[in-house]
Structure 1
Amino acid sequence: MKTLLPTSTAGSLPKPAWLAEPETLWSPWKLQGNELIDGKQDALRIALQEQQQAGVDIVSDGEQTRQHFVTTFIEHLSGVDFENRKTVRIRDRYDASVPTIVGPIARQKPVFIEDAKFLRQQTKQPIKWALPGPMTMIDTLYDDHYHSRKQLAWEFAKVLNQEAKELEAAGVDIIQFDEPAFNVFFDEVNDWGIACLERAIEGLKCETAVHICYGYGIKANTDWKKTLGNEWRQYEEVFPKLQQSNIDIISLECHNSRVPIELLALIRGKKVMVGAIDVASDTIETPQQVADTLRQALEFVDADKLYPCTNCGMAPLSREVARDKLNALSAGAAIVRQELANAN
């Protein structure tokens, strides 16, 4: 029987201190060679076990095998020069030194397939795998070849589609594309961003999701959020077209964000991963707080389409805080599940 309100995470979980620097994004690996391969697999097993012990229904690798949610995929593509770096503005928020596109983009070999197969071997639960979305990928590079954001995104969509098809064949149940850039470049999202996303999911039979958030709990993001005013209505710009798209699930940030919950009405009919855990704070939500967020969402999302989730990835948090937050997510979902059962 299918679980009502199945819980999941948006993606990353903290890495163990022996694998990478804790509470740090882009943290370098502490192991090398075969030790690193073993270490990543050990960390994946731990991340899986922590999700299972917390009662998470749809599990992931916790992104233990990748350094960063965008660049780890790009590192495996040809046409990108990591030595020749340029400084660009990321999502109109902060400057970063990024690789340069120097030739045609191509995927010479699978990137995450072995890791996905390994995760599939460890569990019979539904598994979700996250890939960077085309628009967020182009926002983390300097393009010295195509000189067109749209064309570069389209090329990335094609290689993402190759990877996604192999992930599906490896037994992944939900493939999620992370598109925080969808909360920034609204005109481009509507002009070609959603079309690129649909190119990335072309031909897939597994479920597909797009995760659109306000970012990790890092200073550049929290500072930006302070400028957004009392209501964060960014989703309003892209939801109508996403509602018409072929994407199955939309993952968004609700708890402690200032997103007006009624914006969910714009994606009625879609499955929704409702972010009920704040990843920009070490404060542990109570099960009742999680339940409150889910109850509000249920006014606009049918119960069989609501998936309780975290707002974003939890890589920058401590392992203890992340564990406690996952427990709160499961406990809050259980409260609302029981209420729904009693109402019937």
Structure 2
Amino acid sequence: MKQLLPTSTAGSLPKPSWLAEPEQLWSPWKLQGQELIDGKTDALRVSLQEQRRAGIDIVSDGEQTRQHFVTTFIEHLDGVDFEKRETVKIRDRYEASVPTVVGPVSRPHSVFVKDAKFLREQTDQPIKWALPGPMTMVDTLYNAHYKSREKLAWEFAKILNQEAKELEAAGVDIIQFDEPAFNVFFEEVNAWGIACLERAIEGLQCETAVHICYGYGIKANTDWKKTLGSEWRQYEEVFPKLQQSNIDIISLECQNSHVPIELIELIRGKKVMVGAIDVASNEIETPEEVAATLREALKYVDADKLYPCTNCGMAPLSRELARGKLNALSAGAEIVRKELVAKLDC
């Protein structure tokens, strides 16, 4: 029988202190050469163990082998110069020094497939692998070659499709595309962003997901959230078209946010990863708080399509805090699971 309310994480988990500076987003590596390769592999093992011990059903690599959820993928592509940097405004929110697209982009070899194969060898559980989405990749670069954001996004979509097909062949069960840019550039999302995402998943047999959140708990994001008012209705702009898309799962943020949960009704019929853990807070949710979020979500999504999850990645948190939050996610899901089973038995 298929697991009811399978739990998972949205993305990153904290790295061990011997690999990178703890509680710091995009921290540089502390190791080099073969030591770094071995250290990343060991960190992946530890991350998997943390998820297993917490009772997480759909496991991931915790992004232990990558420094940044977007640029680590881009680093392996041709056509992008990391020495030639320009300052751009990322997601219309904060300025950052980014690499420059100087020529046609291409993927000379796979990026994460070796890591995915290693993860597959370590567990019989379903595994999920995250890739950056085309629009979010475009928004993290200075585009000197293509000029058009849309043209570059289509090229990235083709490259992501190549990687995704190899990840599927390596045994990945769910491939997730991270698209926080979908919460900002609504006209572009509806004009070409979702179409590019469809190109990225073309021909895949495994399940696919798109993760759209309000970001890590960093100052630039928390400051932006303060400007959004008492209701965060950004999902309303993109959910109708996503509901019509071929994406299987939509991953969204709910816990301790101002997202009206009834917006989930707009994607009725899709599987939904409901963010029931706030990654921008140092408070560990109680299992009952997680359960309450899930009960609310069940008003708008069928039980067999609800996947309890975290709002976003947890890289900036301490390992102890992340562990507590994962335990709360599992315990809260189990409360609601038992309630649903009891109803079926009645």
User: Corresponding residue for 1:186?
Assistant: 186
Residues 1:219 and 2:248 are matched in the alignment: no
Structure 2 residue identity aligned to 1:160:
L
Q: Give the deviation of 1:28 after TM superposition.
A: 0.6
Alpha-carbon distance between aligned partners in 1 of 2:332 and 2:107, rounded to the nearest angstrom: 41
CA RMSD of aligned residues (A): 0.3
CA drift at 1:93: 0.5
1:205: which partner in 2?
205
- For residue 325 of structure 1, what is the aligned residue in structure 2? 325
Mapped partners of 2:334, 2:104: distance in 1: 49
* Structure 1 residue 211: Cα displacement: 0.1
The residue aligned with 2:166 is 166
d(CA) in 1 for partners of 2:28, 2:301: 40
* Secondary structure in 1 matching 2:30: coil
Who is 1:272 aligned against? 272
Identity percentage of aligned residues: 84
Q: Which residue number in structure 1 is paired with residue 304 of structure 2?
A: 304
> Aligned partners of 1:246, 1:260: CA distance in 2, in Å?
24
Deviations along 1:254-286, whole A, 9 cap, x unmatched? 000100011000000000000000000010000
What does residue 260 of structure 1 align with? 260
Distance 1:2 1:123 in 2: 18
The alignment of Structure 1 onto Structure 2 pairs a total of residues equal to 344
Letter in 2 for 1:209: A
Shift of 1:25: 1.3
* Per-residue deviation, residues 82-104 of structure 1 (Å, max 9, x unmatched): 00000000001000000000000
Task: Please list the CA deviations of residues 173-209 of structure 1 after superposition, one character each: whole Å capped at 9, or x if unmatched.
Answer: 0000000000000000000000000000000000000
Task: Give me the whole-angstrom Cα distance separating, in 1, the residues matched to 2:110 and 2:151.
Answer: 22
Counterpart residue identity of residue 282, structure 2: D
The alpha carbon displacement at 1:26 in A equals 1.5
Q: Could you tell me how far apart the structure 1 residues matched to 2:222 and 2:26 are?
A: 18
**Secondary structure, counterpart of 2:3 in structure 1:** coil
Secondary structure of the equivalent of 2:5? coil
Secondary structure of 1:340's match?
helix
Question: What letter corresponds to residue 303 of structure 2 in structure 1?
Answer: A
Shift in Å, 1:11: 0.8
Q: What is the distance in 2 between the residues matched to 1:23 and 1:126?
A: 28
1:72-221 to 2 correspondences below 5 Å:
72-221=72-221
Q: Secondary structure at the match of 1:331?
A: helix
- Cα distance in 2, alignment partners of residues 151 and 88 from structure 1: 18
TM-score, scaled to structure 1: 1.00
In structure 1, the residue matched to 2:39 is: 39
Q: Give SS of 2:147's match.
A: coil
Q: Corresponding residue for 2:234?
A: 234
Aligned to 1:30: 30
Ranges in structure 2 where 5+ consecutive residues have no aligned partner: none
Determine the structure 2 residue equivalent to 1:64.
64
| TM-score normalised per structure 2 | 0.99
- Give the gaps of 5 or more residues in structure 1: none
Equivalent in the alignment of 2:13? 13
- List structure 1 runs of 4+ shifted beyond 2 angstroms: none
- The secondary structure found in structure 2 opposite 1:104 is strand
